[in-house]
Structure 1
């Protein structure tokens, strides 16, 4: 008997059964078609496996690749065995609607560190509680309170660029800022992307943690983290939350964290513990821990020294749920980390994309200069104020148009169809099916934006009724899980862009330069070399 069993389960038999088992695991669900989505076209491998979506996500161009599939197959594309991408503007208000019962998928579990925050919690009740505590800090009244800090760091950026401009005018060059700088042809030439990173990180550091990271002053991607984050977290309530600290490249680590979490998120949940053991994911795990360390140390330092300062963290501390309870220490730190991630990378990516389009499209820059000169004048005040830029139609048109083309959150955010199903564009989807609506594709729908969808043309926002365009501009998502910080984000972009463009004339270093990107969870420019010249405002 034992001899017979040994012959049946020989190594050669196991080698034969392994590929057969793999095939069956993927083929049987396709043949059973429990969700009734076999009819939808898409990449062949995506019908059976998450491998296609995992590959394009790892490759860093998921939104573009999914868009190409929509151009090939139409509005419905099956991008994974139980995931249909729907490129239809009307689907936004259906898939992400208030009250439809759709929940976030297991994809968001890959973005949890410290503990679940308002972004990655999947429980409806928990999200409602967190949103109640957090939403008030992004009201228009609160945003006005944050404006002085925003203007402070925009002014510091302009001061740094003026310093380099004056040095460049003397024929000097240097390495302040990644990629260096030089003077030539009456302009200062530099890469504006790292400077946008420094600016956004210092702003959110000040607002979320009570102190900037000091990147603008140092002209360097650098932030301090504890060598042992757990030691700092566990020291709360003691005299000194002391820990040895390290200086780390926070922007680089944030990008690594986004790519790692995206790679994990597209894998089936049962695969993730196995994948985390693979050597090429080890750096991503370190990035997650290191970024959490920034929040842990900053919150510990802030809470060890009470202050009456008004910022995001103080408002988080003051927030209460429906039962009058505040956030606990760990939850507060997790939300502060969410604010850091959501408020830094998005603002820097967007700032870079807007400056790129204005440098590339001189007619738009000249029209914006005219609007800024007319409404802001040539006052000694270098940095624009919120009230000054709040209602400038062409400024808003330039921002909207750049973010339509370069939406930093471009992928389709996945949702699970609730009990009772959902009907989209005449197609019924059963409970448990995963649906997403890709912003990248919606922002390129000719029925909304016209045939010139790939062109940067701010005027489209000022021609006739633009209500459909505003409804389909999905840069902050829609529904109950939409971005809470949209008021703050728009105020920042208005002040940043208006202040830079009132002070400088900008051009691309290479007129034929195209803004290359790489996508983790967010779609990030890789570089944007520009030449700036100080304008004569008198």
Structure 2
């Protein structure tokens, strides 16, 4: 009897859920917005497509088929309209991040993270606490750290070349980026380049966290429960972000035991000896522990670790991949680099300042990030109270809207009919109006107040390494990559798979 009552209650609940879904579709003021039929009723279509790992391409096809506004969930809308970028992401807008971002931090209400924080006011206040440490004028003092890792990276490539082996450059670029961010954050190379392997499982932990946060974020209400179960199953080390948090806390404990690190740093000074982030953060904490708490210190370091290697490694991979798939572009860049070397304007360890004097290099970097931005999902935001007009359509408050950088970067009305082609020359034109238009719609690191804090670190690493690689080494794509496009997986970050290349030391 009881089982029959329970079965009836479950059945009635399911029927109610289905009916409610239909009613929402029928009476929604946005019901006319096109998109996959399944996406009108629940988020399972979006979950399925994201799970397949190629949503950046799915998103582009949706707009090619349906126009500048498309639906990818019952209340999720992808926008491909240049005027929308300022409305949604511009400074001073009140569009908070969607619940999808909740899974990127601990579900406890007090456990904010600078990337995922949905509280606009708190995010703005916390971002100001970190801003000066990430300025480009401050980061150029870290060139010595980048040089140390670039030298070791070059040595590893020479060893691979001598052995006649193919190298998975995506893996090696991540080793390089991880060791750089380790030096910049902790003044300690973590040893990825030394071992050529995943140290303490950190890369695996981040891979695990990426997939978890990306998929569970679509049904973020499950996060508190799934997060707790996953960490319990993982044991004392935790999993994903919890593992990285524990790793960071161990480095903090080491720092506290080192009496030589007990210094105050004037972070307002742009010049001076390099001081790693950990010491800078401890100094800020000592000066004003209420404004810059120990939690601020921990989260600053964790953010570096979580976001500081993948984005740079993906971008470096994209640059080398497109250069090798377009030999004429590789040769044009090499000619620019060789000319600078002959003129005595290029050091053995390429400086950031020297890299800024190579216009073709800058165009290659910008174009590679246009063709393959690191993130590949819509940057979801929630329409604020009162609703808003976007691309001529009114979106009521609570609607989730966003633009995918992959979609924006393929807009032919902005980047021309050849928007799907790798063409660095598009950034070297004299048409100032067109340049401004492209710059406004170039968003590999996001836009507005939520632009990636660490973007300057990434540019510093890339600007110094790419000229060295092109100058000192020859590369040959694996036979499969010579005839086919590389394979990638999109779990927020669009990461290449086996990016195999044969390396040889260049003969001068």
Q: TM-score, normalised by structure 1?
A: 0.84
Structure 2 residue corresponding to 1:220, chosen from 197, 219, 235: 197
The unaligned stretches of length 5 or more in structure 2 are 264-273
Structure 2 residue corresponding to 1:210, chosen from 165, 177, 187: 187
Q: TM-score, normalised by structure 2?
A: 0.89
What is aligned with 1:174? none
Contact 2:371 2:420 in 1 (8 A): yes
| Shift in CA distance, 279/59, structure 1 to aligned 2, threshold 3 Å | farther
Check if 1:31 corresponds to 2:26. yes
Contact 1:132 1:321 in 2 (8 A): no
Check if 1:316 corresponds to 2:281. yes
Distance, in Å, in 2 between the alignment partners of 1:165 and 1:265 is: 42
What is aligned with 1:236? none
Distance, in Å, in 2 between the alignment partners of 1:149 and 1:95 is: 37
Measured after TM superposition, the shift of residue 10 of structure 1 is 3.4
- Once the two structures are superposed, the pairs formed by residues 91-110 of structure 1 within 5 Å of their partners are 91-110=84-103
What is aligned with 2:156? 160
Structure 2 residue corresponding to 1:365, chosen from 330, 333, 353: 330
Check if 1:140 corresponds to 2:136. yes
Distance, in Å, in 1 between the alignment partners of 2:501 and 2:160 is: 14
CA deviations on 1:49-68 (whole Å, 9 max, x unpaired) are 11111112222222222222
- Once the two structures are superposed, the pairs formed by residues 78-477 of structure 1 within 5 Å of their partners are 78-113=71-106, 115-168=111-164, 182=165, 189-222=166-199, 247-248=200-201, 250-269=202-221, 271-273=222-224, 286-306=239-259, 307=261, 310-319=275-284, 325-377=290-342, 382-465=348-431, 466-477=435-446
Distance, in Å, in 2 between the alignment partners of 1:446 and 1:327 is: 45
The unaligned stretches of length 5 or more in structure 1 are 1-5, 169-181, 183-188, 223-246
Contact 2:105 2:241 in 1 (8 A): no
What is aligned with 1:503? 472
Contact 1:418 1:432 in 2 (8 A): yes
Measured after TM superposition, the shift of residue 143 of structure 1 is 1.2
Contact 1:94 1:424 in 2 (8 A): yes
| Shift in CA distance, 38/123, structure 1 to aligned 2, threshold 3 Å | same
CA deviations on 1:26-71 (whole Å, 9 max, x unpaired) are 22322332xx211211111211111111112222222222222111
| Shift in CA distance, 378/504, structure 1 to aligned 2, threshold 3 Å | farther
| Shift in CA distance, 276/135, structure 1 to aligned 2, threshold 3 Å | closer
| Shift in CA distance, 393/320, structure 1 to aligned 2, threshold 3 Å | farther
Distance, in Å, in 1 between the alignment partners of 2:457 and 2:2 is: 69
Contact 1:202 1:212 in 2 (8 A): yes
What is aligned with 2:8? 13
Instruction: Give the secondary structure class of the aligned counterpart of 2:474.
Output: strand
| Shift in CA distance, 143/413, structure 1 to aligned 2, threshold 3 Å | same
CA deviations on 1:53-104 (whole Å, 9 max, x unpaired) are 1112222222222222111111111111111110112211111011221111
Q: CA RMSD in A?
A: 2.6
Distance, in Å, in 2 between the alignment partners of 1:444 and 1:454 is: 6
Distance, in Å, in 2 between the alignment partners of 1:281 and 1:426 is: 49
Higher share in helix: 2
What is aligned with 2:51? 58
CA deviations on 1:424-466 (whole Å, 9 max, x unpaired) are 1111112211110111111111111122222111111112322
Distance, in Å, in 2 between the alignment partners of 1:24 and 1:276 is: 31
What is aligned with 1:177? none
Measured after TM superposition, the shift of residue 281 of structure 1 is 12
Distance, in Å, in 1 between the alignment partners of 2:287 and 2:41 is: 45
- Greater Cα offset, 343-352 or 260-269: 260-269
What is aligned with 1:242? none
Distance, in Å, in 2 between the alignment partners of 1:382 and 1:162 is: 16
